[in-house]
Amino acid sequence: MIRGFKIALASWLAVYLQSTAANLMTFWGLTPSLAVIIISLAGLKQGTPAAVWTGLWAGFLADCFHPASFGLYSAAGTAIGFLAGLVRERIYREQLISQAVLIASLTMIHMTLVFFGREGGKLSLYPWYLARFALGSAGLTSIVAVFVLPALERWIYARGRNRNAPAL
């Protein structure tokens, strides 16, 4: 229950930072996707259902900034949450490198889904978008994740003090 609340809070902060402070982190027009980091973490630590609900919540908050395409970010978040849960058992999820690679892949998938959802039939623009934005943002997100993930993991998934542990 408390974990769920913490994840919801982290998603809320991530979407807010994405919309304001992420502009300060923008490098050559590329912005890290903070919500993807939270969704991936939920998927890796708790599995598919938690990641799907996290993706839906974070996506819904992002959708509120895009009323014209309402539901698109929710669907994209849900999809990458599902994927994060799906690959949970198939990678070395305790390794930071594996986590970073997964986050980069999910960022690319997320950006691709949003691109096709928003731009519709402009398929000819996709290679340019992939080369200019999706790959760069995926790399930047994974770099940010390397620094942010351990702290987030400690905060959300920290175990309480074991009262039955023998005194040393």
Distances (CA, A) of 39 to 8, 139, 143: 10, 17, 16
Q: Is 27 helix (H, G, I), strand (E, B) or coil?
A: strand
State the Cα–Cα distance between residues 151 and 148, nearest whole angstrom.
6
Please state the closest distance from residue 67 (CB atom) to another protein, in A.
4
**Could you say whether residue 65 binds another protein (CB under 8 A)?**
yes
Phi, psi of 103 (to 5 degrees): -65, -40
Nearer to another protein, 78 or 142 (CB): 78
Nearer to another protein, 71 or 150 (CB): 71
Per-residue interface string for the shown chain with another protein, residues 104-123, x marking contact by CB under 8 A: --------------------
State the Cα–Cα distance between residues 12 and 153, nearest whole angstrom.
16
Residue reference for tokens 């939270």: 38
Q: Which stretches of the chain bind another protein, using CB under 8 A?
A: 12-13, 16, 18-24, 26, 29, 31, 47-49, 52-53, 55-56, 59-68, 70-72, 74-75, 78, 81-82, 85-86, 125, 132
